Structure 1
Amino acid sequence: MPSAFPSFSSRRFDSMRRPSFLLPVLLLASSLSHAEPPELDWLELMPEADRQALEDMPDIVHDTPETDGDFTARGGLKQKSRSLPAVMYSAKTVPALDGREIRLGGYPVPLENDGEGRSTTFFLVPYPGACIHLPPPPPNQIVLVRYPKGFRVDDISLPLWVDGRLRVEKISNDLADAAYAIDASGVEVVEEEGL
């Protein structure tokens, strides 16, 4: 299972010629106004025991009806087969992450749109096509994102940055079970130079 989302380089501020006594003040003000939350890696959402179990897991065979695109009739991102290792069903979380402002990169699985066709609620997953490939990520690798402003999803294979407050929150609907939620303050498509 693909796990870690690629790390992206942070933005750098151009240096300007200013009086030397203003430089520290300008740098602090600039970094505060342009600060991004700390980037979180997908594997950090899993307790250590789950990470180790994932590393030790044997290869998974993808010979089920869902591989032919029949995932909606089978439940979407929900695990249907009980023959996989227990880590693939894990909703165990990392309590220390609850309430942290974070930045998480991933791929959208749209759920709800506003009247103008912008996605306001979606699942964020660590790899593209998670809604049609088997096995789907475990619940502790699926994050429900609430973004009332909404954004247009033109291509679910384009990576996104989601900034906001992470919550340990169990969510279950017809499509998936998730162990975390983010009330997003910002959502943006990752530009190629950000990879």
Structure 2
Amino acid sequence: MRYLLLPLLLASTLAGAELPETDWLELMPEADRLALEAMPEISHDGPELDGAFYSPDGLRQQARDLPAVMYSSKTVAAFDNQPIRLGGYPVPLETDARGHSTLFFLVPYPGACIHVPPPPPNQLVLVRYPKGIELEDIYAPLWVSGTLKIEAVSNDLADAAYALDAAQVRLVEEADL
């Protein structure tokens, strides 16, 4: 009897284990990563410095004189339909009747919704999470786990090169650090 329980215990332990973290830069093709590393410092001067926190262009690139890598939608084919765990910051798009976010962009750094320039499309992930999560603070980092897809997404706020059907979304906790 003990030998029958061991495989079940092992399977349940593995099912509860989190996926290893995927680094945001892994979502960029190597040529884009190299171009990003070689890029000169970008000014983050924008409307928020004047007290204007809303831009009609949202996360879309406001300055069109940036290096091409800042507009890149190039993806990494190996990530298509792969389970991943990605850490980042939410930019809420839709909520359910309880006020929980069910659709949001995940971005690699806090404040991407107001800073200029925003991340390139291959550094924006549209997250679909029908269960919803209460987002009290968009500056609080999240762990998002699920199946990543190469999917061009364009809405009034931004363009993204990836979408993720989330199985789990949770706040990053002190113990995670």
- Flag whether TM exceeds 0.5 (same fold): yes
1:42 aligns with: 24
Tell me what 1:116 maps to: 98
Unpaired runs of at least 5, structure 1: 1-19
4+ residue runs of structure 1 moved beyond 4 angstroms? 20-24
Q: How many residues are aligned here?
A: 177
1:50 and 1:32, CA in 2 relative to 1: closer, same or farther beyond 3 A?
same
Match of 2:37 among 55, 65, 76: 55
The 8 Å contact of residues 55 and 114 in structure 2, kept in 1 or not, is answered as no
Match of 1:88 in 2: 70
Indicate the structure with greater strand content.
Answer: 2
2-structure distance, mates of 1:68, 1:167: 38
Q: Paired residue for 1:138, among 120, 145, 157?
A: 120
Q: Give the superposition deviation at 1:32.
A: 2.1
Could you tell me how far 1:68 is from its partner in structure 2?
3.2
Contiguous gaps of at least 5 residues in structure 2 = none
* CA–CA separation in structure 2 for the residues paired with 1:153 and 1:69: 24
Matched, 1:29 2:5: no
Q: Secondary structure at the match of 1:73?
A: coil
* CA RMSD of superposed structures (Å): 2.0
For 1:42, give the aligned amino acid: W
Q: Under a length normalisation based on structure 2, what TM-score does the superposition of the two structures give? A: 0.92
Displacement of 1:133 in angstroms is: 1.1
Aligned ranges 1:128-167 → 2 under 5 Å = 128-167=110-149
Counterpart of 1:72, as a letter, is: Y
